[in-house]
């Protein structure tokens, strides 16, 4: 039986300014362990807002986010931070590596923050991750000595450091050339194939089509869901159920 890694129930995120703005407007979603989910949609449709809620970087106005069976809406900020650190790995369009640290030190950071491994084990894991991502020769380099694709692979290694259940990636290939995009997307695919769940926001329809499932967001709602075989399940605009997996 498939295991659910992430469940989102009745998710709403509203912000109050001069006028109230609804960024996420009633999303229900269930993502399986090892599933690769792509989130697409026009600019401003609420993709990043949804991703930040899923990664507990932001809190919903209404609804619940259940990560590996654990409801998160009633957790304290400290408890949320702990779930973020141990269950979620983040990759953003910009790598956010610390410039004064080497690749190795950047990957060690989340493990040090978690504080559950010996120094030797942390070093071995960081080295193994960087080597598996083709960066075995670059471990002592600082971010400004690496190419864009290499930096993003270090960011991926850092995201994987604490063996998170869910990798949350916001336009991870947005700044990369075609070859590096292919490489990073291939790594994300491998991560999912190895049983971790990947949720990625992308503008790139061709990349999204390679995910197991794509949800297309319009005005903060799921407008359409497409599975890996390219067939849409349901179009919210027409309400027609066309395909059941
Ligand atoms: N804190 C906020 N206060 C007010 N408006 C916000 C806030 N955060 C986001 N928005 C607005 O909400 C809408 C959704 O933003 P979001 O970043 O989620 O969209 P997106 O689909 O990821 O867009 P893009 O593809 O351009 O990154 C946008 O119009 C954005 O300007």
Return the sign of the alpha-carbon dihedral for residues 99, 105, 108, 113: negative
Helix (H) or strand (E) holding 111: helix 103-114
| Domain 4-241 = CATH 3.40.50.300 | yes
**Is residue 16 classed as helix, strand or coil in its secondary structure?**
strand
Spans of all domains in the chain: 4-241
**Ligand 1 atom 27: the closest Cα is on which residue?**
43
The residue contributing the CA closest to ligand 1 atom 31 is 44
Nearest CA to ligand 1 atom 4: 15
Q: Is the CB of 23 under 6 A from ligand 1?
A: yes
Q: Which atom of ligand 1 is nearest to the CA of 217?
A: 21
Q: What is the pLDDT of residue 73?
A: 94
Q: Give the number of other CB atoms < 10 A from CB of residue 59.
A: 14
- For residues 74 and 80, give the distance between their C-alpha atoms in angstroms, rounded to a whole number: 9
User: Model confidence over 6-50: pLDDT tens digits?
Assistant: 999 999 999 998 889 999 999 999 999 999 999 999 999 999 999
Is pLDDT at 235 greater than 70 in this prediction?
no
Q: What are phi and psi of 149, to 5 degrees?
A: -65, -40
Sign of CA dihedral 166, 167, 169, 173: negative
Question: Is-contact 225 236, C-beta < 8 A?
Answer: no
How many angstroms separate the alpha carbon of residue 131 from the centre of ligand 1?
36
Q: pLDDT per residue over 169-225, tens digit each?
A: 999 988 888 988 988 888 899 999 999 999 999 998 888 988 999 999 999 999 999
> Mind listing the pLDDT tens digit for each residue in 147-167?
999 999 999 999 999 999 999
């Amino acid at each position: 039986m498939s295991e659910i890694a992430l469940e989102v129930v009745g998710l709403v995120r509203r912000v109050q300014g001069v006028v109230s703005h609804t960024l996420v407007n009633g999303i229900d979603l269930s993502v399986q362990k090892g599933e690769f989910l792509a989130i697409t949609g026009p600019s401003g449709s609420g993709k990043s807002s949804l991703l930040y809620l899923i990664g507990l970087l932001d809190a919903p106005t209404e609804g619940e986010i259940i990560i590996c069976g654990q409801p998160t809406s009633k957790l304290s900020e400290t408890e949320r931070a702990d779930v973020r650190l141990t269950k979620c790995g983040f990759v953003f369009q910009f790598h956010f590596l610390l410039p004064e640290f080497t690749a190795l030190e950047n990957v060690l950071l989340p493990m040090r923050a978690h504080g559950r491994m010996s120094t030797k084990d942390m070093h071995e894991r960081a080295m193994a991750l960087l080597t598996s991502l083709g960066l075995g020769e670059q471990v002592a380099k600082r971010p400004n000595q690496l190419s864009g694709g290499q930096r993003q692979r270090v960011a991926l290694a850092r995201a994987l450091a604490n063996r998170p259940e869910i990798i949350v990636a916001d336009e991870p290939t947005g700044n990369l050339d075609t070859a590096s995009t292919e490489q990073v997307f291939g790594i994300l695919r491998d991560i999912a194939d190895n049983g971790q769940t990947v949720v990625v926001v992308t503008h790139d329809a061709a990349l999204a089509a390679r995910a197991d499932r794509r949800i297309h967001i319009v005005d903060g709602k799921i407008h359409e869901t497409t599975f890996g075989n390219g067939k849409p399940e349901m179009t919210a605009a027409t309400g027609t159920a066309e395909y059941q997996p």
